[in-house]
């Protein structure tokens, strides 16, 4: 990860979830730059056509129109250019076989969107601080980040 602000890319089709994510991010003691896209096709187009440096991390919703987060993750991990890009799945779902599959495909972390807005800042912060050790992929036991 680069020095200075963390460059985040959020792919989420829900306008409220994007607003809450951005608001929570602004309340963290971490300097960030946020770019958002609203579906998997926009995400893949942005990443594939980017001549600039890749983002430091992608927060990826699973349930999006046009192309799901699951499909995007598979395509990204199959491309050498993106294999070391930390992808944090950011979803309301907590289906264990799907979570395990996402880990096996190559997701860096899995954040379950908390039901309470007040806990969102905490899980985003945990996801971002886990990037400090991005060279060490978390074990399956430490893959999921949830609010308590």
Per-residue pLDDT tens for 66-117?
A: 889 889 999 999 998 898 899 999 888 888 888 889 989 999 999 888 888 8
Predicted confidence band at 1 (pLDDT cuts at 50, 70, 90)? very low
**Chain centroid offset of residue 17 CA:** 13
- Residues 128 and 122: their CA atoms lie apart, in Å, by 10
Q: Average pLDDT of 57-69?
A: 90
- Lookup result for tokens 């991990």: 77
| pLDDT score for 117 | 80
Position with higher pLDDT, 10 vs 146: 10
How do residues 18-53 score in pLDDT, each as one tens digit? 999 999 999 888 889 999 999 999 999 999 988 778
- Residues 23 and 15: their CA atoms lie apart, in Å, by 12
| pLDDT score for 93 | 80
| pLDDT score for 135 | 63
| pLDDT score for 4 | 65
Domains located in the chain, CATH noted:
6-145 (3.40.50.2300)
| pLDDT score for 51 | 74
Q: What is the pTM of this model?
A: 0.90
| pLDDT score for 2 | 41
């Amino acid at each position: 990860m680069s020095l200075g602000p963390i460059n985040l890319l959020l792919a989420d089709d829900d306008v409220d979830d994007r607003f809450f994510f951005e608001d929570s991010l602004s309340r963290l003691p971490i300097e960030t730059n946020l770019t958002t896209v609203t579906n998997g096709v926009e995400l893949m187009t942005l990443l594939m056509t980017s001549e600039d440096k890749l983002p430091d991390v992608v927060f990826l919703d699973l349930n999006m129109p046009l192309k799901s987060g699951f499909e995007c993750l598979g395509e990204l991990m199959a491309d050498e250019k993106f294999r070391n890009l930390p992808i944090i799945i950011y979803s309301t779902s907590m289906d264990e076989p799907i979570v395990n599959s996402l880990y096996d495909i190559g997701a860096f972390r899995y954040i379950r969107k908390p039901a309470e807005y007040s806990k969102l800042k905490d899980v985003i912060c945990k996801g971002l601080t886990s990037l400090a050790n991005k060279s060490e992929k978390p074990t399956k036991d430490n893959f999921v980040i949830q609010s308590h």
